[in-house]
Structure 1
Amino acid sequence: MNRYLIVDTAFGYGAVAFSAQPFKLVAIKLPTSDLDALCRPFDESYWQIDNTHPEASTVGSTLVRYFNGEQIDIPWPVMDISRFTPSQQVVYRTVATIPYGETASYGQVARLAGLPRAARFVGTTMANNPYPVFIPCHRVIKSDGSPGLFGGGEPLKARMLALEAGS
C-alpha cells in the first residue's frame, strides 16, 4: 500500500509519497499553505498517512532542510527513475546536475542531455517530474530568463530561486 508523510517546511506543508516495503520514493509534493488540498488526492486514492516511517522521515527532513536554505544531497537510491523512458531519464539526470543557486534554459538542458532540438521535450519532462526539489526543475527557465511554468506555481518557483540565490 502506498503511503505519504506530511512535512511542515518554511514554505508550507509538503508531502513525501512512498511505498513502504521496500521503501521507494513515489513522489514529492511541493509546499502549500492548504493542507486539505495537499492531502485530498492521497485520501481520494486511499493512500495511508504515515508520519512515522523512518526512511520517509529522513526524506522529509531533507525537504525541510532545503526549504530552510540548506543545500541537500539527492536521495538517488530511493528514487525510481527506471519507470521513465531513457530520454526522460537523461533529462532528469541532467537537470539534477544544475548547481544550487544556478539556472539553465530548457534549450541548454536539451543540449547537455544530448537532445539538442528537444527543448519542448525537456519542458514536458519537467512538467511530469515526480521529484521536484531533488530533481530541481525549478532551476530550468525560459531562454529569455523568465521563470517559465512550474507545478508549484510561478510564485513558489520564484521563491525557491530567491532562496537559493540568498535573497
Structure 2
Amino acid sequence: MVINMFYRHIFPTSFGYAGILFQTRPFLVKRILLPHWNKAGLLARTASCSEKKRAGFTQDLSPCPKEEVPGECLRLSANIQAYFRGKPIKTNWTFLDITGLTPLQHSVLEAVADVAYGEVKTYSEIAAEIGRPRAARFVGTTLASNPFPVLIPCHRIIRADGSAGGFSGGTNLKERLLTLERRLFCTHRRPCSGLQHRVE
C-alpha cells in the first residue's frame, strides 16, 4: 500500500519567503504560497486550518528534510526564485493537482496561463475567452482562490478601467509583480503599450 505524505518546502526569494505545499507518491503540488517577508509568518500560514483546507490537506504539514525534497520540487522552487529575480516562468501542468477544480474553473486557469509575460488582460476578456462573456465576476472569484499563483499568473488579470484589481497576495504585491514584468519586458525592447494597468 502506497502511503501519501504531505509536506511544505519553504525557500527564500528576492521578495521574501515563499513556499510549496505538496504531496509525495506521486509528487503533486497542492498550493504555492506567495512570498512573506517573515519566514515565521509564512510558517504560521501553512499551519492555519484555512490554508490546509484550501490545499486539500486533512493532516498537519511537516517540513520536508532537505535531503528528501523531491527533485521536481527543488527545480520548481528554483524556477520560482528565478521568477522573482525577473525571469519568466512557464506553466507546467504535469505536477499541479487540479482535482479540486470544476471544469469551468479549470478553463479559467488555462486561459490565464496563456497570458504572456509582460502582458495583461481584463477579467472580461478572460470570461469571453472561455465562452462566458458575462462571467467576469466568476473569473475574479476563481482567481481569488487560485492555488498556483505565479505559475498560473492571475496577477496579469486586471480590471477594465486599467486598475490592478484584487489579488490573494494583496494589491501591493500584484503591482510589484506587474512592474517587475514590465521592466524586463521593456528591457528586451518589446512594445510596452500592452500594459495598461496603473501603478501609482
The residue type paired with residue 116 of structure 2 is: P
Give the counterpart letter for 1:12 in structure 2: G
The alpha-carbon deviation at position 82 of structure 1 amounts to: 3.4
**Number of equivalent positions:** 167
TM-score (structure 2 length as normaliser):
0.80
Cα distance change, pair 8–51 in 1 and its aligned pair in 2 (3 A) = farther
Aligned partner of 1:133 among 150, 170, 177: 150
| Residue aligning to 1:121 | 138
| Structure 2 spans left out of the alignment, 5+ residues | 49-58, 185-200
For the 8 Å contact 1:6–1:51, the answer to whether it is kept is no
C-alpha distance in 1 between matches for 2:103 and 2:65: 33
Structure 1 residue runs of 5 or longer lacking an equivalent are: none
Structure 1 residue 42: Cα displacement: 2.4
**2:83 match: secondary structure:** helix
Which amino acid is the alignment partner of residue 94 of structure 2?
P
Contact 1:24 1:79 in 2 (8 A): yes
Confirm or deny that 1:144 pairs with 2:161: yes
Which residue of 1 is the match for residue 24 of structure 2?
Answer: 20
Compute the RMSD of aligned alpha carbons: 1.3
- 1:54-101 Cα deviation digits (max 9, x unpaired): 221111111001101001111210012232111000000000000101
Displacement over 3 Å in runs of 4+: none
Which residue of 1 is the match for residue 43 of structure 2? 39
The two structures have a TM-score, normalised by structure 1, of: 0.95
The higher radius of gyration belongs to 2
State the distance in 1 between where 2:42 and 2:133 align: 36
SS at match of 1:166: helix
CA distance in 1, matches of 2:27, 2:160: 38
Q: Report deviation, 1:51.
A: 5.3
Partner of 1:50: 64
2:38 and 2:83 mapped to 1: Cα distance? 20
Q: CA–CA distance in 1 between the matches of 2:92 and 2:64?
A: 19
